[in-house]
Structure 1
């Protein structure tokens, strides 16, 4: 009985594409990364609150306090969940935003997007550069509001407290923490006056 000839390498399906090559072709460039940098400036500055939605301790992923130049904070979105104003960053060449830089595992990316309501058009990704511990970090993700309010809307007490707790816990500059407190308090006082005069 004659032995059938072996298929040539060109025709063998095994040799068409090595499994490792196939993996590299089918995975997106983002999914090939094991982690990503994330700059938080609002409630996500608080590792305890971030754990609530991402499901694991965030402290191991904190790099430290970071500065975003050329932007300023503003409460330009109404959160339907919290029924109050929530933070956004908008370009402003004369300002800066202090926040917390994380290096998060890529497996948490979709959960973070869900928290920031990316699938529902709440926030979108913005790629930025930040300074942290005398080092410049590039290709950093943050989130900006898609449909901004024309004027700022005051936060409620819960959001006020979690933002301030995150800022203090992660070591943001004391003066910036006071500015953040004053900004939120002023918006709340203005809202009270508007409600009384209505």
Structure 2
């Protein structure tokens, strides 16, 4: 079942936060163009997303969501962050947890810049997302254009931002631990390789 238009009403009616409900109501009244976005990396953290988009993104969070048929991997070296950053790759046996946002269209270009779309870092991929017992069709997410052959380790800053976003937005505890272990093992492997090279 797909619900692309009525979900805004559903969200603000049920919210317990008056500020958020006022904002949702205002958006519906103004009929501001919106788009759905699935975040699985550092953008899961609304605080870090605010840094790029220039405004508070908490009100635009729909909730914890799942992308089926993909798996996570650190298949890009970010020139700005100087470390490995997350990507999703097709894998019929896997799934990726993340956060579903409904963002105003006016933030689309800022999000593309953050994901380095103009420079060929990531590109749009439109996927089906499972959230709150509904399926959202044609949801935007981002995938790496030129993937590394081997995963690259995240630095401590990226590690912490990704984990903070996962915990803050209520991803399952088991998934958070799996994410932690994946990143930790990549860092350990990176350090071991560094020691071998410098020995």
Give TM class, smaller chain. 0.7 to 0.9
Give the distance between the partners of 1:171 and 1:108, measured in 2 at CA: 24
Please give the per-residue CA displacement for 1:160-185, whole angstroms capped at 9, x wherever unaligned.
00000000000000000000000000
Structure 1 residue 92 displacement after superposition: 0.3
Gaps of 5+ in 2: 1-30
Q: How does 1:15-94 map to 2 (within 5 A)?
A: 34-94=33-93
Aligned structure 1 segments of 4 or more residues deviating by more than 2 angstroms: none
Gaps of 5+ in 1: 1-31
> More helix per residue: 1 or 2?
2
Pair 1:160-2:181 in alignment: no
* Secondary structure in structure 2 of the residue aligned to 1:119: helix
Give the distance between the partners of 1:53 and 1:115, measured in 2 at CA: 6
Give the distance between the partners of 2:53 and 2:129, measured in 1 at CA: 23
Structure 1 residue 75 displacement after superposition: 0.1
Q: How many residues align?
A: 167
Please give the per-residue CA displacement for 1:145-170, whole angstroms capped at 9, x wherever unaligned.
00000000000000000000000000
Q: TM-score, normalised by structure 1?
A: 0.83
Please name the residue that 1:97 is paired with. 96
Please give the per-residue CA displacement for 1:23-78, whole angstroms capped at 9, x wherever unaligned.
xxxxxxxxx97000000000000000000010000000000000000000000000
* Secondary structure in structure 2 of the residue aligned to 1:57: coil
Structure 1 residue 139 displacement after superposition: 1.1
Give the distance between the partners of 2:70 and 2:91, measured in 1 at CA: 5
Q: TM-score, normalised by structure 2?
A: 0.83
Give the distance between the partners of 2:158 and 2:139, measured in 1 at CA: 24
Please name the residue that 2:24 is paired with. none
Pair 1:110-2:114 in alignment: no
Pair 1:151-2:142 in alignment: no
